[in-house]
Structure 1
């Protein structure tokens, strides 16, 4: 009996200590992606999962808690687990649906992405939608552009300015096929990093 309780407690503890960066599959059998929310829509506090500890923490810079000095995030912001983008971080995602609590996983459909230049480094922001949300009938970035062009303009404008004018340069939109290919490459990069074949 004591052994069973010990194993149960150990299992519960390992789930609590599991890092959202590596312990959750990047994709679901239905084709959706798993999405970890670091920064809920409408907030300005800059939270991030610590790569060493795997814990969600309020990011600090020069000893101060970081707050975006611009308008609040226009969507839920976070990442797809078990991926590594070119900058060594997981793939960045912003969703266009209502606020989801910080530190939670959610399913997301990727419809495309925005390609920015941050200094001299490529910074791709993937656009996701809740499969059951307001935009559930939107299948691609092209459809969003046609039916709700202001939504893309808001995202483009926000990312182009939230770090300060001229820090993030918009280069182009990426369609669904391009976005999925980049995420798959990022998953392969993560597998190589983890030593998985």
Structure 2
């Protein structure tokens, strides 16, 4: 390959890969039904890389980021358990569930993250799998006070684990990078984050 063309092509790839990075934190909120009071607040910058593999070879890759302007927010607000769901369309969602842990007085709140998608929709018929698959973060976040928010300004990358059995048609890798997050799922006052519990990583 001509050296000049190769340099230009490499430069294009670098620019293209950079463009996949989210540009800034984005605040997602879910209000208590019938009110303007937030029951969940998540200020986050993240990217999910979802790969479809066949025979160990990557055949397609999709990226989801917090910059996606088509994201809609749903979820549930209830006593002891809340959940915020970011919908990307085509039955692809990323979520955080907040749960009170009554039998864990030193860490009474847990945050559990996951990603769900239908392979045949996300990958445009690259695979025939038409059921929704669930992948989850194997490292829950635990908080010491229900009135606190969780704050982590440092980059953290996690490979999510699946809850389904391997499929002969294709396998999948889900890698989620959270560049920063500030979140709270209980006891929000005046639509403001509570005192911060900062991550240790």
TM-score category of the 2 structures, normalised to the smaller one: under 0.3
More strand by share: 2
Structure number, greater radius of gyration: 2
TM-score by length of 1: 0.28
TM-score by length of 2: 0.27
More helix by share: 1
